[in-house]
Structure 1
């Protein structure tokens, strides 16, 4: 029998205390699991926002599914609604890429995403394509801006070469994450440094300092 992690999240302490938001999510997941003959192992983050993936129970769930397949005791993660898992297309795209690489399933019941099925994989691939398109559009706009600045005789340093959206994302993640955690999250989302390299904690610190000085 398939075993899935049922991930639940509410964003306020009031919702956590009342149990109303959690109960509705649990019921939706259990109903879906019963229809597919799944066992469910529950992971719950109470009173936490979805603005980043840095949540204790979500990280524990990701650690559990991200071991090699032969040692894995669960087959994936299921959520009642995508926004319980992530409100960022880039964050969700990163999770989907991790799942595909390690061959575990992601299920978001409200959107019909179920990567254990052909149709669910198609929906997931469309979402990842949208995320990639957004990154390419941002990169194209940055390139045009750099060329215009060059023609105007303005110097473009490495921080200036960094897409504005990447810089803003870095600062947003940094609010609730360590330097290393921020670097890991940026890499998970497929974002690179101005020179196209993976992020490190040291690189995050340098860019944060320069962006804050502007």
Structure 2
């Protein structure tokens, strides 16, 4: 009997609850294996792991290492394997070098035929295009909120307070933001700025001490607002 290994993944707990759960993905893989005469020898699971990078997904790397000649690597969809065309093609090429097969159930794609290989590359490109379009729409909505003075992050930016969903400047905090910008422009390091604020007992928006990363984020957000 031909052998297969499965790979399943969810990025977050929310995705597991509201999207396609690990259990649902595995059930689809099991059904496919039974219907196509494959023995499912192992299922690799990356739970709560983003698909943007390959090196952080230990189970995917383990699956690719375990794959042997004649085996099929089966996943619920292309998006479970990777979030970029580059990574999907890298995975496909690695599977091909091992003389294995790659199967994506949602898109009904496998690389056992030339047509399957062509469709895999095409669908991978379309998936990436869709994600970029979603990202562009999200960015446009974010910029609109900023221009309209609406709250655009879960955490209210330093220098503002949220009143009925709108950002209203807090004078005392705005003065600190201006001071930070001036200090940075004059050549002060992020650490020096943070030390100065902490030494004066000025807390962050959440009541914590300042850190270089906090200063960097504040300056970045301030420059984005100023550019609009």
Normalised TM-score (structure 2): 0.48
Compare the two structures and name the one with the higher helix fraction: 1
Q: Are 1:112 and 1:123, in contact at CA under 8 Å, matched by a contact in 2?
A: no
Contact 1:75-1:105 at 8 Å conserved across structures: yes
SS at 2:97 equivalent: helix
CA shift, 1:5, in A, is 0.9
How far residue 15 of structure 1 moved from its aligned partner, in angstroms, is: 5.3
Tell me what 2:37 maps to.
37
SS at match of 2:49: coil
Q: Deviations over 1:3-50 (max 9, x none)?
A: 111101111145569996011101111111111011111111111110
Tell me the equivalent position of 1:115.
Answer: 111
Structure 1 runs not aligned, ≥5 long: 135-214
What is the rounded CA distance, in whole Å, between the counterparts of 1:96 and 1:18 in structure 2?
Answer: 29
Q: Secondary structure at the match of 2:106?
A: helix
C-alpha displacement of 1:124: 2.6
Structure (1 or 2) with the larger CA radius of gyration? 2
Q: Which one scores higher on RCO, CA 8 angstroms, separation ≥ 6? A: 1
Residue 60 (structure 2) aligns with = 58
Q: CA RMSD in A?
A: 2.9
Is structure 2 residue 90 aligned with structure 1 residue 94?
A: yes
Pair 1:28-2:25 in alignment: no
Assess if the C-alpha contact under 8 Å between 2:75 and 2:105 holds in 1.
yes
1:138-172 deviation line (CA, Å, top 9, x unaligned): xxxxxxxxxxxxxxxxxxxxxxxxxxxxxxxxxxx
**Equivalent in the alignment of 1:76:** 72
Q: Matched residue of 1:23: which SS?
A: helix
Hey, what's the Cα distance between the residues in 1 that align with 2:82 and 2:20?
A: 20
Residue 60 of structure 1, CA deviation? 0.5
Q: Give the whole-Å Cα distance in 2 for the aligned partners of 1:32 and 1:119.
A: 20
Give the superposition deviation at 1:101: 2.1
Distance 1:21 1:125 in 2: 26
Alignment partner, residue 48 of structure 1: 49
Assess if the C-alpha contact under 8 Å between 2:64 and 2:95 holds in 1. no
